[in-house]
Structures are given as structure tokens and as C-alpha cells.
Amino acid sequence: MALKNDRECCAGLWELPVERCERRPECGRCSRPQKVCLCPFLPIHPLKVSTCLYIIQHPAEESRVLRTVPLLAACLPPDKCKILIGRRFSEDRYPELATVCRNPSTLILYPGAEATNLEEVTLGSSSPPIMIIIDGTWSQAKDIFYKNSLFRLPKQVQLKTNISSQYVIRTQPTNTCLSTLECAAVALTIMEKNKSIQETILRPLQALCSFQLQHGAQIHHSKEHLLKNGLYDKPMPKNKRKLRRMELLVNNVKI
């Protein structure tokens, strides 16, 4: 009897109007909600660069609220920052990308034993340089890099830097892991031989983090920092490979 009465009481709920969840209006340039627009911190005019960036973005990044790629794109001319979203990139589906990957002037930014420090690379003068950067978590970036043969064609480079990430509202694996925007800022500064580029591109990121911290966000220390200082409060992984990675972080060994 009680179950029947409960059903009768709930029956009327299905007839109640459902409020539509409308997204806040977004700024057309920085892709932030209009009330927290970051355009005052962007360059008045897009930066003049010869390097073309190809951002390979994992689909999960597209739905994140606090993304850095839209801010990066807003700093550059549209033809100098192209964003491709996906996990798998075949030559048949992405013929333009395949051509780019075969271009001798193309570099792909991905750290590893086979990577050359970007500062040591001599850029050719015959054609404008191209840089491919993968946007995603480290595990997502690794999956994209190793499971797409096209990305093994360009020269692999890495950044040799000891600067700490200013993207303090998102947890990084180590103290020197950088966001996509930060990687692009450092890379463009090196490739364009212009130190002001890094400062200009980092400005909206600094403003984003400052705003979030002022409104309740907490500073996210890197996983490396938390482990070394005994502050990591999550259960340790049972998977031996993941556990080994944790040990390498504690011992400050590059992974």
C-alpha cells in the first residue's frame, strides 16, 4: 500500500515543467563567460609570428571549463594556431595534417629519450617553421603520440626549462610540467627569438588563475610536491607500473 501511495505522489512530478539549463553567454574571442571575460589581458592585436602551431587536442579537453588553448588561440592569428580535435589521425581522414607531418620544417613537441632540446635545433630559412603540440593529460598525450604513426614523422623536440607552471589551479605531475599554453609560449619565444612573446601569452593565464583563486579555488601543488612532502592523500595505486611512476616522482627521476 505504501509503495502504491509513493508512486501516486511521484506521478505528478513527471508533469512539472523542466527548466532548461542555459549556458552563460561566452565571449567570442577568449571563450570565457562574458562576466569573467579575459580579453583585457590579451594583446590588442594578434602577435606577429612566422611559426604555425598545430594543437592536437584530446576530446576530453574540449569540455573542460578552465582550458588554456582558447587563450592561446586568442593571442595568435587564426592561420597561425590550428586546432584539431580527436584521438586517432589517419592520413586518409587528415591529408593536410599528413602533409604537415612530412614537411621538413615541422617539429613535434613531446619529451623523451629521442627528443632534441628545442634550443639546440637549427631552424631552416626556406619555409616557415611548424610546431605540433598535443593538448591533454600526460596519459592522453602519450596515447595520441604513440598510437598515431603520423606523429612519428616530424623531428621530436622537448623544452629544457626549470620554470614552474603558473597554471596553479590544475594539478601537474611534476613541478616543471607545463600547460599547453605555457609550452607554446616558451616554444614560440625560442623559435621566434622574441622574449616578449612568452610574457604576452602568459598574461591571460595569470589573470585566469588569479581570478579563480580570489573566488574560492585552491592552489594545486604538483603530484611530485605532494608525494615528497607527505601530503598525497589519495590511495596509492595497486598497479605496479603506476606505483613505479610514483616512486620515480618521489626520487626526482624523469619519466
Residue ranges of E strands in the chain = 52-57, 81-85, 106-109, 116-117, 130-135, 155-158
d(CA 48, CA 54): 16
Q: Is residue 142 a contact partner of residue 120, using CB atoms and an 8 Å limit? A: no
Instruction: Give kind and range of the element (H or E) at residue 225.
Output: helix 223-228
* Angle subtended at Cα 66 by Cα 60 and Cα 68, rounded to the nearest 5 degrees: 85
d(CA 32, CA 40): 12
Domain ranges for the chain: 37-220, 223-254
CA dist 225 → 162, 182, 233, 244 (Å): 15, 20, 12, 16
Question: DSSP string of 49-82?
Answer: -S-EEEEEE-HHHHT-SS-SHHHHHHHS-GGGEE
Tens of pLDDT along the chain (255 residues) come to: 555 555 665 555 556 565 555 667 888 888 888 888 899 999 999 999 999 999 999 999 988 777 899 999 999 999 999 999 999 999 999 999 999 999 999 999 999 999 999 999 998 777 899 999 999 988 899 999 999 999 999 999 999 888 888 888 777 766 668 999 999 999 999 999 999 999 999 999 999 999 888 888 877 766 665 566 776 667 766 666 665 665 555 555 444
CATH number of this structure's domain 37-220? 3.40.1280
Q: What is the DSSP letter of 17?
A: P
Nearest alpha carbon to residue 132 among 208, 53, 28, 190? 53
